[in-house]
Each structure stands twice: as structure tokens, then as C-alpha cells.
Amino acid sequence: MTKTLGEIAALVGGRLAGDAAIEICGATNIEDARASDITFAVEPHLKEAAKCAAGAVILPDTAGVFSKPAVYVKEPREAFARLLEAFTPPLDLPPGISDLAYIGAGVRLGVGVTVMPFAVVDAHAVIGDGVILYPHTYVGQYAEIGAESVLYSNVTVRERCRLGQRCVIHSSAVIGADGFGFTTSKEHIHTKVPQVGNVVLEDDVEIGAHVGIDRATTGSTVIGRGTKVDNLVHIGHNCRIGANNLIVAQTGISGSTVVGDNVTFGGQTGTVGHIHIGGNSVYAARSGITNDMPEGVFCAGFPTQPHQEWLRTQAALKKLPELIKRLRELEKKVAGYEAKKN
């Protein structure tokens, strides 16, 4: 596929600086770009982009004169994402139900559904218009999959769980496994508490590979509209995750935690259960959240503390061996003074 630089500028709504007739065949990163490619750059990578082999560069509209043909836009990353889609040919996935798929009794299938070989849609499930089920997916009884959603291979959506529209579930994720609920007797015998609730994913949620989202004991575990969950994340039973959260790999959110909107959890963040985490906040990687948290904070560390405070603490820890050495020297001097007095 080839587009002129003028066509690209029109597509992303940008201001062109350079020859509109330049032909571009692909979009890629700075390091891999060739003369027929377009890339993007923001600070501190503008100098690197100026020296790269790309035929053109997408730049922020605040950037000055550039040595290469450029398209200036308000949000370079968003513009570049549109170009990646434009230059990537769609997969050939004709709608239809494979003869090798299993469709249970009472299933309702929407218009333009694609069900590939060895997918299983169990009894009374509802599959919305334009849904794509890749091989070896399982949709449980009475589950609902919203329109235009995509379930990649080996995804499991358990019984009575509900997915909104345009959800994307990557391979080997499990939506609706039993919550981790047991009673323990005086004899240390663990007895399972029935997990009879479900999981609800609202519209435009994306779930990474090997994610586990547990069904509620009763009621629903809810993942809010537009939230994106990275690979290898666990979300416990009865959690209520707000809209537009970003939950990065290996994070664990314990059961019955309530999270506000627009929260970012860095990788390997962990929480205790039954707490409320305020919205519009950021938690750096490996944060340990042990209490209710207010809105609008930027925290790090275990237990969590304000990020700047955590940075000062880490800087002080580096000085600790030298401080201990000096303290021991002072203790020896004091002991010597005390010995002389006696």
C-alpha cells in the first residue's frame, strides 16, 4: 500500500511541511525506518529522528523547522496509531460458522458473526453482531458477547458473564473463573464458598493474554468502560474497576477493591482487598497499596507513599552504608572518651 505525504497529512488532520507528492509505503519506528517509511518523534527524540533514514516524520505542532519532510499534528502518537492501521492490511476473516465449531442449544447469533474451528458456544449464550471467535475459544452458558468484540484463541468466558461492545480479549485470558473464597474450620479444613456471581466488562475494554478476572461471590465483578488490562494481571472477585484505567502487567488487585476512573497501575502493583482507590491517580511499578487512597495522587513504594517522598527515601537509602560506617566510628570515639573518664 502506498500513500502520498499529502494524503497522509489529510488523513491525520496535520499541517504538511514538504513535498506533498512524496510516496510513503509504511509506518514504523525511528530505528527501522527506511526512505519509503514515515515515523514519528516527540522530545527527547527529535534529533534522533532528524538523523534517521525515514522519508518523513510526524511531529508535534509545537516543534520548529525540521530537516526532513514533516507532518505537524497535535498528538503525534495518536496520528501514528492511525497510520499503523492504515498501512496494515486487514486479516481475511470471512463471516460464518465453521462446521468444526460447536453451537449449543438456544444460542443467539448476531449478523456477520465469525466462529472459527473448534470454538465452543455453549447453550443459551448470546453473540452480538460482528463478533469474532478464534479457534478454541469457549463461551459459557448464558454468557453474552457484545457487538464487534474479538476473542482470540483459548479465551474462556464463563457462564453468565457479560462483555460489552468492542471488547478485545487476548489469548488464554479467563473471564469468570471462581473467586478465591473458602471458609476454614478449626481443624484447618478449607470449604469452598459457591461463587454464583459473574463478571461484567463494559464497552471498549481490552484484556491482555493470560489475565484472570474472577467472578463475584454474589453480584458482579465489573471492569469499567475503556479500561485496558495488560498481560498476566489478576483481578479478584467483586472488584469494581472504574472507567479508562490502565492496569500494567503482573498487577494483582485483591477482592472487593473499588477503583475510581482514570487510574494507572504500573507493573507488579499489588493491593490488599476491601479498599477504595480514588480516581485520576498513578501508582508506579511495584507499588503496594494497603489502605484506602484519595483521588489525584502519584504514589510509589511499599507501603505506598507520595512519589517524590519515595524518591528522597531511595536516595537516602543509598547513603545508608556510609552513614552506618560513620556511626560506628563515632561510637568507637565516644567509647574511648568514656573509657578515659573512668
Distances (CA, A) of 185 to 75, 84, 194, 237: 58, 57, 16, 22
- Residues paired with 138 in a beta bridge: 120, 156
Owner of C-alpha cell 475494554 = 205
Q: Looking at the annotation, which residues are catalytic?
A: 237
The closest of 170, 54, 20, 150 to 95, measured between CA atoms, is: 150
Biggest distance spanned by C-alpha atoms of the chain: 98
> H/E element holding 98?
none
- Residues paired with 105 in a beta bridge: none
d(CA 10, CA 155): 38
| 145 within 8 A of 124, measured Cβ to Cβ | no
The closest of 14, 12, 85, 8 to 54, measured between CA atoms, is: 8
- Residues paired with 57 in a beta bridge: 39, 70
d(CA 61, CA 32): 24
The closest of 50, 70, 46 to 58, measured between CA atoms, is: 70
Cell of 18: 514538504
| 204 within 8 A of 223, measured Cβ to Cβ | no
3-state secondary structure of 53: coil
| 207 within 8 A of 169, measured Cβ to Cβ | yes
DSSP 261-321: SS-EE-TT-EE-SS-EE-SS-EE-TT-EE-S-B-SS-EEETTTTEEHHHHHHHHHHHHTHH
